Structure 1
């Protein structure tokens, strides 16, 4: 990967974004011409608007990369409902994503 002028502005966030591409994560912004390229997720994921306030990886990406274990994820394959109590990402245990 190479970095242009963005490196001087975004620094480590740009490195995290570009390195995540090498792990298979996609860009999460709109590619068609529009006034708001970040309308889908805004600044909530490093793969979107890296300058956003919540600039970390979505739980989906964390799970895909193996940083969140299968035991911390609840998936429902059939119609119904579950009550799930989520634990902050900063804590090592507990359910992270549903």
Structure 2
């Protein structure tokens, strides 16, 4: 049960050069904290969503895992409750 270990989630949008984005994806695609990782277009070019025990842990994660990379230009963070996972997700395949 996720609520026993984690209290908050965060969506983090990252603006970085393409090499840094690729490196971050490689780094994060096996992280047990990250449940959503996607390249995006617009001001930011990478978005990830994490579950984490508390706000201090989010700050530590960002400082150690993201801001420490010199290719990262800007970050935006949105913090919220734990994610609501759909009970059924079955997109149509055409």
TM-score over 0.5 for the alignment? no
- Higher RCO by CA contacts (8 Å cutoff, separation 6 or greater): 2
Larger Rg: 1
Is the strand fraction higher in 1 or 2? 2
In which range does the TM-score fall when normalised by the shorter chain?
under 0.3
